[in-house]
Structure 1
Amino acid sequence: MVLSSNCSSSSPSKRIGPDSVDPAKSSKLLESVPRSNYTDVLNEFHPPKPGWYEELFAFVLNTATKSYEAEVARYKSEIFSSLRDKAQKIVEIGIGTGPNLSYYASNPDVEVVGIDPNQKMEKYARSSAESAGLPPSNFEFIHAVGEVIPLDDASVDAVVGTLVLCSVKDVSMTIQEIKRVLRPGGLYVFVEHVGAKEGKVLKFIQKILDPLQQTLADGCHLCRDTEGYISEAGFSRVELNTASLKKATFVNPHIYGVAYK
Structure 2
Amino acid sequence: MPAAGASVLLLRACLALLASPIYLLSFLGMWEPFCRKIFFPFILDKLSVIHDKKSKKHKQELFRNLPDFRGPSGALRLLEIGTGSGANFQFYPPGCRVTCTDINPGFQEGLARNMKKNEHLQFERFVVAAGEDLGQVPSGSVDVVVATLVLCSVSSVGSTLREVLRVLRPGGAFYFLEHVAAEHSSWRYFWQQVCYPTWKLVFAGCCLTRELWKDLEEAKFSELKIQHISVAMPWMPIKPHIVGYGVK
TM range (shorter): 0.7 to 0.9
State whether structure 2 residue 124 is matched by structure 1 residue 139. Answer: yes
Partner SS state of residue 49, structure 1? helix
Give deviations 1:182-234, integer Å, cap 9, x for gaps.
00000100001111121111111111100011111110000011010011101
Q: How many residues align?
A: 213
Aligned partners of 1:202 and 1:60: how far apart in 2? 23
**1:97 alignment counterpart:** 85
State whether structure 2 residue 143 is matched by structure 1 residue 157. Answer: yes
Q: Could you tell me the percent identity over the aligned residues?
A: 31
Conserved 8 A contact 2:147-2:176: yes
State whether structure 2 residue 38 is matched by structure 1 residue 55. Answer: yes
1:55: Cα distance to partner? 2.0
Conserved 8 A contact 1:129-1:139: no
User: Which amino acid is 1:117 matched to?
Assistant: I
Query: Higher relative CO (CA 8 A, sep ≥ 6), structure 1 or 2?
Result: 1
Conserved 8 A contact 2:83-2:102: yes
Partner SS state of residue 64, structure 1? helix
In the TM superposition, 1:215-254 aligns within 5 A as 215-247=201-233, 249-254=236-241
- Unpaired runs of at least 5, structure 1: 7-47
Q: 1:78 aligns with which of 52, 58, 61?
A: 61
Computed over aligned residues only, the root mean square deviation of the Cα atoms, in angstroms, reads 1.9
What is the TM-score normalised by the length of structure 2?
0.81
Higher alpha-carbon Rg: 2
Partner SS state of residue 227, structure 2? strand
What is the TM-score normalised by the length of structure 1?
0.77
Q: 1:130 aligns with which of 116, 122, 133?
A: 116
Give deviations 1:137-193, integer Å, cap 9, x for gaps.
633111110001121110100000001110000110000000000000001000011
Conserved 8 A contact 1:195-1:252: no
Q: 1:194 aligns with which of 180, 186, 201?
A: 180
Structure 1 residue runs of 4+, over 4 Å off?
A: none
Aligned partners of 2:118 and 2:172: how far apart in 1? 23
Partner SS state of residue 145, structure 1? coil
